[in-house]
Amino acid sequence: MTTTLVNHQIRLAARPVGLPTRANWRFTSEPLPELVDGDVLVQTLYLSLDPAMRGWMNEGRSYIPPVGIDEVMRAGGIGRVVASRNPDFAVGEHVSAGLGVQEYALIHAAELKRSGLFKIDLAAGTPTQWLNVLGMPGMTGYFGLMDVGQPKAGETVVVSGAAGAVGQTVGQLAKIVGCRVVGIAGGTAKCSWVVEELGFDACIDYKAGPVRDGLKQHCPNGVDIYFDNVGGEILDTVLTRINRKARIVICGAISQYNNTTPVKGPANYLSLLVNRARMEGMVVFDYADRYPQAIAELAGYLRTGRMKSKEMVVSGLDTFPETLLKLFNGENFGKLVLKVAD
Amino acid sequence: MTTTLVNHQIRLAARPVGLPTRANWRFTSEPLPELVDGDVLVQTLYLSLDPAMRGWMNEGRSYIPPVGIDEVMRAGGIGRVVASRNPDFAVGEHVSAGLGVQEYALIHAAELKRSGLFKIDLAAGTPTQWLNVLGMPGMTGYFGLMDVGQPKAGETVVVSGAAGAVGQTVGQLAKIVGCRVVGIAGGTAKCSWVVEELGFDACIDYKAGPVRDGLKQHCPNGVDIYFDNVGGEILDTVLTRINRKARIVICGAISQYNNTTPVKGPANYLSLLVNRARMEGMVVFDYADRYPQAIAELAGYLRTGRMKSKEMVVSGLDTFPETLLKLFNGENFGKLVLKVAD
């Protein structure tokens, strides 16, 4: 005897031009089929909302295929196993997986690997930390900084989106390495938090004045690593302050994702030539084999208090269309998480 | 008894806006002083005309200081020792040095290193080859391709300014490494030459049609290394065709040097992210310690016919202002050299 569960879902209805609106989404309900051998049914507890989602909504070649029209929107999340015909997963266990923007994800045995399903240890971090420092943003910050940026003690690291999910990991890790760390963020609250709570050396409030002046003041020895989450004018400004052999890690360009005009390329890119510097892109999935090692290291920092994390949790699957926009209007403070169930 | 030699010189009179004109230069004559101990007097035979010269005419921070107003214009060249009070250099010997745009360069002992003065072996290459494959363009191509680009056999290398001084070295070296090599150049003559004489696999004539179409046709497996001498639209177009882990070597941006509007940044730079690619600048001077090794290797290729070189020689010091412009209007075909004396 099973009770038929109704699964509420949010699907991509149309590709957005500029900022996504409700018109780009379709809300659907469907009964969940019965499980067959190998299936795991996961109830979504928390979903990760990420700037990259905006890119997945566009048509065209990228590092992963776009979400198809009428498909459930792609999202990583933390859930609880509520039914299982897979001996590796027991009811009640907490897992991380690509759950999608829906209340339940039925994962077939053949899709286990692609979904990224794995059990999480709540002793290592809370569910929302598993979407933040111990999740994709943490992995992105870890491998982007350590592998692409290659920080050395004493160097100056600048990170934009400093109070965001990736930025907080990058800045704290760079401090652990022994770097001078300067964040760039919007507003006093975020800037104060990364300095006072996370221990950044300084934070430039791009809403309060020219970033150029802040860089002059807070990076007296220039910039050795710039970890870029935003693109646009800020990238261009940092390019004027880089040191010889600087590394610019291109992680994202949130300022450009909702453009209805062409992306603004970095006009100061010839600073790379003058300074023998490099600008390099990264996609976190390339490091999947090494996630366990990075998670163990980061969990250790959380446990010993060397790293902190901040998540902003908004409740309600149905708020997804508006909550997503908080990433783009700067309202999110910390990792943005959608709470779907307790 | 010495004869007082009169030295004709060309000095920077004013910083140009856009393309330099005669008004940016001042022609001077001055008698050469008598030599003191340690001095070497070099008569200029050939001067190297390079796109980088345009940058040296601008004010502002770069990889070397700008040429000062009223200073003799900076230029590398090949000359002959005509007087010497330095036991290391004998009258009649041929040398390479930063001679400047003038008929004679008097090099004091204290300036020897800064001037880069060294004897050249005319058995290894002609004087103009010593300004081309065996000179700064050759060194730039060699270290830019081999060290920054890191080509592997079977990869596809695209080089812009393919018939220019740096481009010809890059393309031929990449062939020697075992790469597929596609040039980009302006006009049928240059394109035919790099394919038929230098052995490139193909060359895209940017004046004849969209570079994008040429890349699709001639780089069926995408682009692994793009060696960029031009910047602008061509850089942006190549960025749409790069492969995963591609390397873009930023050597120059001749399309942008005479801009009176801001430099056009590469709008498609996020292709670096999608493709985990890197864009890296290089300045040849960093490799000075390794010039002898590279010269020996390249001279070997010239001797055995595995590499060819082409120089375009224009005679007359006084033609310098107009001859320099051939770099920017595409009239030069091969390495542009100014012949000053026999």
Chain A residues in contact with B278 (beta carbon < 8 A): 278-281
Q: What is the model's pLDDT at position A1?
A: 42
Does B279 reach chain A within 8 Å, measured CB to CB?
yes
Which residues of chain B from 59 to 118 reach within 8 Å of chain A, CB to CB? Answer: 61-63
- The CA distance from A222 to the nearest CA of chain B, in Å, is 14
In chain A, which residues have their Cβ closer than 8 Å to the Cβ of B282? 273, 276
Burial-class residue B258 by CB neighbours within 10 Å (0-12, 13-18, 19+): middle
Residue reference for tokens 């709570």: A197
Instruction: Quote the pLDDT of residue B298.
Output: 98
Spatial neighbors of A250 by CB under 8 A, at least 6 apart, are: A228, A279, A280, A281, A282, B269, B270, B272, B273
> What percentage of chain B has pLDDT greater than the value 90?
91
pLDDT tens for each residue of B112-166: 988 999 999 999 999 999 999 999 999 999 999 999 999 999 999 999 999 999 9
Average pLDDT value for chain B: 95
- Residue B111 pLDDT > 50, yes or no? yes
Contacts of B62 in chain A (CB under 8 A): 274
Nearest to B279 by CA among B253, B252, B248: B248
Average pLDDT over residues B305-309: 96
State the ipTM, two decimals: 0.92
Kindly report, residue by residue over B65-93, the tens digit of the pLDDT. Answer: 999 999 999 999 999 999 999 999 999 99
For residue B276, give the nearest of A268, A272, A286 by CB distance. Answer: A286
pLDDT tens digits, residue range A268-309?
999 999 999 999 999 999 999 999 999 999 999 999 999 999
Residue of chain B whose Cα is closest to the Cα of A55? B274
Residue indicated by tokens 């510097």: A277
At A3, the pLDDT band (50, 70, 90 cuts) reads low
Please count the helices (runs of H) and the strands (runs of E) in chain B.
10, 15
Q: How far apart are CA A143 and CA A150, in angstroms?
A: 9
> What pLDDT is attached to residue B2?
54
Beta strands in chain B (DSSP E): 6-12, 25-31, 40-48, 76-84, 94-98, 104-107, 118-119, 156-160, 180-185, 202-205, 223-228, 242-250, 278-281, 311-315, 335-339
Torsion angles phi and psi, residue B180, rounded to 5: -80, 130
Cα separation, A195 vs A172, in Å, equals 10
What chain B residue is nearest to A264 in terms of C-alpha separation? B267
User: Residue A260: what pLDDT?
Assistant: 83
DSSP H or E run through A106 = strand A104-107
Q: Has residue B260 got a pLDDT over 90? A: no
Q: pLDDT: is B261 or B314 the higher one?
A: B314
Mean of the pLDDT values across residues A170-199? 97
Question: pLDDT > 90: what percent of chain A?
Answer: 92
Q: Residue A62: is its pLDDT beyond 90? A: no
Residue B252 contacts A, CB cutoff 8 Å: yes
Search chain A and give the residue with CA nearest B268. A265
pLDDT digits (tens, 9 = 90+) for A124-145: 999 999 999 999 999 999 999 9
Portion of chain A with pLDDT greater than 70, in percent: 99
